[in-house]
Amino acid sequence: EDQVTQSPEALRLQEGESSSLNCSYTVSGLRGLFWYRQDPGKGPEFLFTLYSAGEEKEKERLKATLTKKESFLHITAPKPEDSATYLCAVRGYSSASKIIFGSGTRLSIRP
């Protein structure tokens, strides 16, 4: 059964303090790993798709990386507006058109 585990559950950083969020996954053949950002009271917003180990994607202060067992979302010199919940999800060959979400990491950046 496909599974996604995110850690930590919550992370508080000072503005400018870089860190990483972890997404560990178990899937029977990875078709895609996704990162989303969710602001309070809103729907998740798509950030990245990664397909194979070694792949990296960047957007502003965010960089997502992928290995065969986990993905990291690196946040460089974060700003208060980066505060949000970050969700990781995977799609495997056995899950057809469905994707499985982790429970998210709640990131808070203090000015």
Residues in contact with another protein by the rule CB under 8 A: 31-32, 34, 41-46, 49, 51, 87, 89, 91, 96-99, 101-104
Shortest approach of another protein to residue 107 CB, angstroms?
16
Q: Within 13 A of 47's CA, how many CA atoms are on the CB side?
A: 27
Shortest approach of another protein to residue 16 CB, angstroms?
29
CB atoms within 10 A of CB 53: 13
Tell me how far the alpha carbon of residue 41 is from its chain's centroid: 19
**For residue 64, which of 43, 47, 81, 78 has the smallest C-alpha distance?**
47
**Of 33 and 75, which has the nearer Cβ to another protein?**
33
**Of 42 and 68, which has the nearer Cβ to another protein?**
42
Tokens of 94: 């056995």
**Of 41 and 111, which has the nearer Cβ to another protein?**
41
